[in-house]
Amino acid sequence: MSPSGKVIRSFAELAPERFGARCPVVTLFSGGLDSTYLLHRLTKAGFTEIHAVSVDLGAGEDPDQLRMVADRLSVRLHVLDGRRIFAEEFVRPAIAAQAVYLGTHPISSSLSRPLIARLALELARELDAWGVLHTANRSQNTLRRLNGALQLLGYDGHFGSPYDRDPVSRERKSRELADIGLVHMTDRVASIDANLWCREFESGILDDPEEHTVPEHLYRWSARRPAGPPDETATSPQTEEVEIGFEAGVPISLNGTRLPLTDLIETLNHRAGAHGLGRYSGLEHLPGGQKVLELREMPAAALLLPSYRHLETATLDAETVREKMHLEQLWVREALEGRWFGELRGAAQAFIDTCATAVTGTVRWHLTPGTAHTRSITAHNARYLRNREDWERSSAYDTD
């Protein structure tokens, strides 16, 4: 663990005389309200070598919008392409680990934060920056995921979030940014965290678990479920079949066509989402035990995760699957608590990867508005019976 003096926890600690106004600092920048306001506070404080890092994880952010904000605040923008690495090194293991938080929703930021921290750290070392700053607050689990990743990666500079002990209201952030011409920030009704695996909504108007209707315009992948009988004039399909192929635990094909994992996930997000699949809600715990609401759309996950489980149960011994299911929540816990780069998650991953070598085959799904049903589970080296009567006759005299 890093010394407490290395962790930035308030805006009062961000003084140019402490670090040097012309010494580089790296900040994580999504283009949202919190990260834009942090850049504003740093420039207002007198820092002149600010490097804003936006990691492209396939969310579809507009780079021109990011550049507009960076130019207005006179900071240098770095857009890093992390899509392939995110899919192959973080989402793929999560699919194999059946990474679902307490059975309610697939995890997402637990996967993206370690990669974002790693790429930001690499840039900070390249620039000889004094620190890496982010914008997570005390009600966001991202705080311990980013800090934990930077600690476990051995970063020896300063890091952390000034919002940790110095929260700023959304109204104040919007007002101050509007005063310097960034008026488009005033229409942010919730925090959105997006990547190719998930679009997640929280805070703002979605704070209260007892009333949390998500504005429909926030959804991009999942269509509104049609009411009443099928409409022949509708543009989205009423029924569809998709077949997902796996090889040694890795999703490799869609309807027989091999695709990079990034393309496969993107295609499934739109195809499964067109049937209204993949919306999740759930409560996640904070370090003190309190719970916060998170809502998300993950149509690709709604098919990829159960497809993997079907092939896994088709190819592995039942006792192996049971033990793996125990380790899955351990894996999820370590990732969620910010210990992606820790030895315990790595050890669980080794077991999961060993099991994954048997997971090869295809699952064909029949999709209708709001539902998905399997039509075929075809596994290599399968343990399932295709004709029970033949098996019963052939095994009638076997010794138990």
CB atoms within 10 A of CB 291: 11
- Mean of the per-residue pLDDT values for the chain? 92
pLDDT of the residue at 233: 43
Q: Locate 254 and state its tokens.
A: 């869609």
The three-class DSSP label of residue 364 is: strand
pLDDT of the residue at 387: 93
Sheet strands side by side (includes 7-8) = 7-8, 158-160, 131-133, 25-28, 50-56, 76-81
Alpha helices in the chain (DSSP H): 16-19, 33-45, 63-72, 83-86, 92-96, 109-127, 142-152, 170-179, 261-273, 299-315, 318-336, 343-356, 388-394
In the chain, the percentage of residues whose pLDDT exceeds 70 is 93
pLDDT band at 49 (very low <50, low <70, confident <90, very high): very high
pLDDT at 62 over 50: yes
pLDDT of the residue at 187: 63
pLDDT of the residue at 186: 63
* C-alpha gyration radius of the chain: 23
pLDDT of the residue at 59: 83
The torsion defined by the Cα of 325, 331, 337 and 339, in degrees rounded to 10, comes to: 170
Range name among 50-64, 103-117, 322-336 with the lowest pLDDT average: 50-64
Q: How far is CA 13 from the centre of its chain?
A: 30
Q: What sign does the dihedral 53-57-61-63 (CA atoms) show?
A: positive
Q: Locate 55 and state its tokens.
A: 């990691």
Range name among 185-189, 212-216, 272-276 with the lowest pLDDT average: 185-189
pLDDT band at 399 (very low <50, low <70, confident <90, very high): low
Choose among 73, 170, 177, 95: nearest CA to 352: 95
Report yes or no: 306 and 277 within 8 Å, Cβ to Cβ.
no
- Residue-wise pLDDT for 199-234, tens only, equals 998 877 888 999 998 888 889 999 765 444 444 444
pLDDT of the residue at 10: 96
- Residue-wise pLDDT for 75-102, tens only, equals 999 999 999 999 999 999 999 999 999 9
Choose among 60, 187, 41: nearest CA to 52: 41
- Crossing angle for the helix pair 299-315 and 261-273, nearest 10 degrees? 110
In the chain, the percentage of residues whose pLDDT exceeds 90 is 79
Q: Which residue has the higher pLDDT, 314 or 294?
A: 314
Range name among 25-29, 369-373, 390-394 with the lowest pLDDT average: 390-394
pLDDT of the residue at 228: 45
pLDDT of the residue at 227: 44
3-state secondary structure 166-194: CCCCHHHHHHHHHHCCCHHHHHCCCEEEE
